[in-house]
Amino acid sequence: MPIQSLTERQQKVYDFVKEFLEAHGYPPTLQEMANTLKIQPSAVRAHLLLMAKKNALRYVPHISRGIELLQERPVGIPIYGSAPAGHPFMAQDNIVDTFELRRYISASDDLFGVYVRGDSMKDAQLSTGDLLFVDPKKDPRNGEIVVAAVEGEPTIKRYYKEDGTIELRPENKKYKPIVVNTWDENFKILGVVIGMIRALDKKKLDTIAADYQTHGRVS
């Protein structure tokens, strides 16, 4: 069922509910809406009933504050695609998806993060300051990037398993691969890197730089 467009007045009511909800955490009463919009509660009620019919919200009669907004714009971030020439880039119908972290980085609950240090994964386009999302429950496949502990030292490398050995390859010719036996006790896969996020604005970069001295990163 498509979302029918709201009239000007209905939009005003809808907006008020939205703002009220954000401010208070619960919806307004008919009275509260009526006061702000300077109309009668009965009139507000009529608007709500109409909007409910249009599927813009749910209105439960007999229930105080019984309003639920639908089409909650997700906390998400709209993602624009490329549009045909001449078509405005930032138009509603050029939104190809909505970004929600939970959906994008879908992994087990005990997902964790590490910051990258150094240039050993340069050719995989990972650089100092990048934040990696690591899934500790996922079994690594050959070619995937993993966080491993070698003799207690965490390190980021590409994973290749062959017979009884595991090879951890850096992505930079300057460094050499590490080869360990699968039964080696001084070695442990901490998790598989399933995502990465990088801050690019200057203020954030400064913060990261400051952090750098306080906390370590994993190379």
Residues in 44-103 that interact with DNA by CB under 7 A: 45-47, 50, 61-66
Binding of DNA by 189 (CB under 7 A): no
Cβ closer to DNA: 12 or 188? 12
Q: Is 120 a catalytic residue?
A: yes
Residue 185 Cβ vs its own copies, minimum distance, rounded to whole Å: 14
Residue pair 87/94 in contact by the 8 Å Cβ criterion: yes
User: Considering 38, 54, 157, 176, which one is annotated as catalytic?
Assistant: 157
User: How many Cβ atoms from other residues are within 10 Å of residue 180's Cβ?
Assistant: 17
Q: How far is the CB of 187 from DNA (least distance, A)?
A: 40
Least distance (Å) from DNA to the CB of residue 72?
Answer: 20
Is 23 a binding residue for DNA by CB under 7 A? The answer is: no
Whether 127 sits among the annotated catalytic residues: the reply is: no
C-alpha 17/C-alpha 26 separation (Å) is 9
Q: Which residues contact 200 (CB under 8 A, 6 or more apart)?
A: none
Q: Specify whether the CB–CB gap between 191 and 147 falls below 8 A.
A: yes
**30 contributes a contact to DNA by CB under 7 A:** yes
Q: How far is the CB of 29 from DNA (least distance, A)?
A: 3
Strand partners, 133: 113, 195
**Residue 166's binding partner out of DNA, its own copies, none, with CB under 5 to 8 Å set by partner kind:** none
CA 34/CA 16 separation, integer angstroms: 10
Which entry of 12, 53, 108, 120 is annotated as an active-site residue? 120
Backbone angles phi, psi at 83, to 5 degrees: -110, 160
- How many binding residues for DNA (CB under 7 A)? 25
* DSSP run (H or E) holding 92: none
138 binds DNA (CB under 7 A): no
Beta bridge partners of 149: 154, 188
List residues binding DNA (CB under 7 A). 7-10, 29-32, 37-43, 45-47, 50, 61-66
Q: Which sequence positions are flagged as catalytic?
A: 120, 157
